[in-house]
Amino acid sequence: MRTAQLPLGTLPARVSIREVGPRDGLQNEDVILSTKQKIALIDCLSDSGLEYIEVGSFVHPRVVPQMADTAEVFARIERHPDIVYSAIAPNLKGAERAIEAGADAIQVFLSTSESHNQSNVHMSISESLAQASEIGRLVRSSGKLFDAVLSVVFGCPFEGHVPVDRVLDIAAQLIESGAQQITLGDTTGMAHPRLVQEVCVGFAERLPQVPVRFHPHSARGAGLANVLAALQVGVDRFDASVGGIGGCPFAPGAPGNVCTEDMVHMLHEMGVATGISLPQVMSCARGLETLLGHEVPGQTIKAGICGHLGPVGEPRIVELEHL
Ligand code: ZN
Confidence check: pLDDT of 38 > 50: yes
* 260 domain-assigned: yes
200 is catalytic: no
pLDDT at 320: 47
Mean of pLDDT values over 88-107: 97
The span from the CA of 103 to the CA of 108, in Å, is 13
**Cα 108 to ligand 1 centre (Å):** 14
- Catalytic residue (choose from 156, 200, 248, 259): 248
**Cα 215 to ligand 1 centre (Å):** 6
pLDDT at 73: 98
* 11 domain-assigned: no
Confidence check: pLDDT of 200 > 80: yes
- Give me the amino acid identity at 58: F
Under DSSP, the state recorded for 34 is: P
Q: CB 140: neighbour CB atoms within 10 A?
A: 16
- Give me the amino acid identity at 120: N
pLDDT digits (tens, 9 = 90+) for 244-278: 999 877 777 778 999 999 999 999 999 999 999 99
**Cα 256 to ligand 1 centre (Å):** 6
Instruction: Specify the range with the lowest mean pLDDT, choosing from 55-69, 95-109, 209-223, 258-272.
Output: 55-69
Q: Would you place residue 310 in the very low, low, confident or very high pLDDT band (cuts 50, 70, 90)?
A: low
* 283 domain-assigned: no
pLDDT digits (tens, 9 = 90+) for 112-122: 999 999 988 89
Mean of pLDDT values over 123-131: 97
Residue whose C-alpha is closest to residue 235's, from 220, 213, 217:
213
Under DSSP, the state recorded for 25 is: I
Query: What is the total count of domains within the chain?
Result: 1
pLDDT at 187: 94
State the residue range of the domain holding 70: 16-274
Bridge pairing between strands 16-19 and 212-215: unpaired
Confidence check: pLDDT of 322 > 90: no
Whole-number average pLDDT of the chain: 92
Confidence check: pLDDT of 284 > 90: yes
**Cα 86 to ligand 1 centre (Å):** 15
Buried b (16+ CB within 10 A) or exposed e, 193-204: bebbbebbebbe
Confidence check: pLDDT of 71 > 60: yes
Q: Which residues surround ligand 1, an ion (CB under 5 A)?
A: 24, 257
* 306 domain-assigned: no
The span from the CA of 232 to the CA of 272, in Å, is 12
pLDDT at 251: 75
pLDDT at 65: 87
pLDDT at 7: 64
* 308 domain-assigned: no
* 108 domain-assigned: yes
**Cα 2 to ligand 1 centre (Å):** 32
Q: Kindly report the backbone phi and psi dihedral angles of residue 107, in degrees, each rounded to the nearest multiple of 5, phi listed first.
A: -105, 135
Confidence check: pLDDT of 24 > 60: yes
Mean of pLDDT values over 183-209: 97
> What is the domain-level CATH number for residue 75?
3.20.20.70
Q: Would you place residue 298 in the very low, low, confident or very high pLDDT band (cuts 50, 70, 90)?
A: very high
Handedness of CA 240, 12, 82, 134 (dihedral sign): negative
* 215 domain-assigned: yes
> Largest Cα–Cα distance in the chain?
55
**Cα 149 to ligand 1 centre (Å):** 10
Mean of pLDDT values over 18-45: 95
Q: Kindly report the backbone phi and psi dihedral angles of residue 52, in degrees, each rounded to the nearest multiple of 5, phi listed first.
A: -150, 125
* 303 domain-assigned: no
Mean of pLDDT values over 199-208: 97
pLDDT at 249: 74
